[in-house]
Amino acid sequence: MSASKALYVKNNNGTQIQAIGLGTYTSLGGDCERATLHAIDVGYRHIDTAYFYENEAEVGAAVQKKIAEGVIKREDIFITTKLWCHFHEPERVEAACRKTLANFGLEYVDLYLMHWPYSYVYRGDNEMMPTDAKGEVELNDIDYLDTWRAMEKLVELGLTKSIGVSNFNSEQLTRLLANSKIKPIHNQIECHPALNQKKLIALCKQHDIVVTAYCPLGRPDPAKKQPNFIYDDKVQAIANKYKKSTAQVVLRYLIEIGTVPLPKSSNPKRIEENFNIFDFKLDAADHAVLDSYHTGERLIPMEHAIKSKYYPFHLEF
């Protein structure tokens, strides 16, 4: 399947992204580079990573190889990465972004997200989870608005084409919109049938903010047959109806409820399978089945940060 067959989504600043992206969390040791190379060959033109993932250099190496081979031009591919929580002090933001660009070996990224609304104490660039004598993560109380203002300057400097947020709740997003010069183009959040985020998606749509969905397949565990929305007979029946896999059905559902899913894989066959979701549509009965798995339970609650006044998950959405 070629990149031209995939849907594209327009961002509020006029840029556009493919309606699916390659997720790269925990993809290391050469796996990320191999996955990115294969994904580009398959047709992916949207790659998601983060400073915290420690694989920006692998993504960058793969992208540069495919540019050198003439498979893509730099402007063909949309690269998202993220500012980690220990870089939230405004005076650290530009240096953090430049370090990321050096990791990639690129002059700019397409989207730079604030990874979380809360922050950590800075103990060095590579100490990403600084802990105190009790072993608890050292939180800082930097206002995400101050961090955002520093991120706005990155756009003016040309270091990133766009900026956005990740894991922001409805109140944080509303406050940011009221106090920003540059509107975020994306809010990247955990989203899958068990946490379908329909209320937050509706708010983002109202403000023309694209929702990207991480953990879209709920971190499948074949041994435990979890999550049930991947392994249940009811979803398998839907998959059989369309001659697709249950993972493809779930990814299609996420697209149809208004998100851009970011499935992570380093398996070549699955990378191809995840991309091949643009030739069928679910009906209302299918949606009702997938809606029925919603519990609101998170896979990534980040409870170590629960004492931060900027912890986002005290609210329903």
**How many structural domains compose the chain?**
1
Region 174-197: mean pLDDT is 98
Res. 296: pLDDT tops 60: yes
Q: Considering the chain, what percentage of its residues have pLDDT values greater than 90?
A: 97
In a domain, 315, yes or no: no
| Binding site feature residues for substrate | 115
In this predicted structure, the answer to whether residue 28 has a pLDDT above a threshold of 90 is no
Instruction: Confirm whether 312 is domain-assigned.
Output: no
Q: For the chain, what is the mean pLDDT? A: 96
Residue 29: per-residue pLDDT: 84
Q: Is the pLDDT of residue 150 over 60?
A: yes
Confidence of residue 27 (pLDDT cuts 50, 70, 90): confident
The string over 99-130, giving b where at least 16 C-beta atoms fall within 10 Å of a residue's C-beta and e elsewhere, is ebbebbebebbbbbbbbbbbbbbbeeeeebeb
Q: Has residue 299 been placed in a domain? A: yes
Domain contains 313 = no
Q: What is the mean pLDDT of residues 53-67?
A: 98
DSSP labels, 205-246: HHTT-EEEEESTT---BTTTTBSHHHH-HHHHHHHHHHT--H
231 is catalytic: no
Residue 221 · residue 211 · CB < 8 Å = no
Q: Is the pLDDT of residue 6 over 90?
A: no
The angle at the Cα of 188, spanning 315 to 195, to the nearest 5 degrees, equals 55
Mean of pLDDT values over 71-75: 97
pLDDT digits 0-9 by tens, 104-114: 999 999 999 99
Q: Kindly state whether residue 314 falls inside one of the protein's structural domains.
A: no
Is 111 domain-assigned? Answer: yes
Tens of pLDDT, residue by residue over 212-234, are: 999 999 999 999 999 999 999 99
Distance CA 156, CA 142 (A): 23
The pLDDT, as a whole number, for residue 313 is 98
Residue percentage of the chain with pLDDT more than 70: 99
pLDDT score at 288: 98
Q: Is the pLDDT of residue 182 over 90?
A: yes
Determine which one of 8, 25, 51, 53 is catalytic. 53
Per residue in 231-290, pLDDT (tens digit) is 999 999 999 999 999 999 999 999 999 999 999 999 999 999 999 999 999 999 999 999
Range of the domain at 218: 16-305
pLDDT band at 3 (very low <50, low <70, confident <90, very high): low
Answer whether residue 142 is part of any domain.
Answer: yes
- pLDDT-derived band at 2 (thresholds 50, 70, 90) equals low
Q: Is residue 236 part of a domain?
A: yes
- Domain of 109, CATH number, reads 3.20.20.100
Query: Residue 1: pLDDT above 60?
Result: no
Annotated binding residues = 115
